[in-house]
Amino acid sequence: MTNRPADGTVSPAVGRPPLAVVLVAVIVIASGELGGAVLSQLRPATTRFATRRIAANPQVHGLTGSAEYDDTIRQRTVFATEAGLSFFHTHAEGTGLVLFFGATLVASLVSSRAWRAALYVLLTAGALFPLGYLVYALAVLQLGRDTGIDLAENWVLTPLGCAAIAGLFGLAVALARRPA
């Protein structure tokens, strides 16, 4: 973005990805910001909600009725929920930006229409990776810590993370194959 023509547009070499991709990038960044605010302002409410959900599902959390043991389980599970929300905040800020800049590179430098479409799909799916941490935060409360983490990892984090890696790898290949 070094050339600045008189009309204020970026050099024609820097293309804009489709609006749907831009929209996802902006929503993911906005969700990240919002998640951070919720995490900071509503921490006590979040902790109370998590504690209530654990109490409502005593079997999946392995609560025994022994106060000391149950407290340890409760603290570990609440910590996992808060960690999920915190990871959502940090990753959403990052993956939204990765989508914005990655898709801009795709729009600017990838000439094949099919390649561009495939890379947009992969990068957009990859930008949704942080949703896995929201699932993580809720699933540990509903299903228990280990089962919840497994669910989020196997069904959300791994597929979306793989999409992000494949999209970035594809972009790297497209750049390497591009004539100088």
Single out the residue of 84, 87, 93, 120 in contact with another protein (rule: CB under 8 A).
93
- What is the distance between the alpha carbons of residues 122 and 167, in angstroms, rounded to a whole number? 5
Phi, psi (rounded to 5 degrees) for 128? -85, 0
Phi, psi (rounded to 5 degrees) for 78? -65, -40
Which is closer to another protein, CB of 105 or CB of 140? 105
Which is closer to another protein, CB of 14 or CB of 63? 14
Q: Using the rule CB under 8 A, give the single segment among 25-33, 56-64, 136-144, 166-174 that binds another protein.
A: 25-33
Closest CA to 174 of 75, 108, 95, 92: 108
- What is the distance between the alpha carbons of residues 111 and 174, in angstroms, rounded to a whole number? 9
Which is closer to another protein, CB of 14 or CB of 162? 14
Say which DSSP state 57 is in.
-
Is 33 a binder of another protein (CB under 8 A)? Answer: yes
Is 40 a binder of another protein (CB under 8 A)? Answer: yes
Give residues with Cβ within 8 angstroms of 51, minimum separation 6: 74, 78
Binding mask 99-118 for another protein (x = CB under 8 A): -xx--x--xx-xx-------
Q: Give the binding site for another protein (CB under 8 A).
A: 1, 4, 8-12, 14-16, 19-20, 22-23, 25-27, 29-30, 33-34, 36-37, 40, 93-94, 96-97, 100-101, 104, 107-108, 110-111
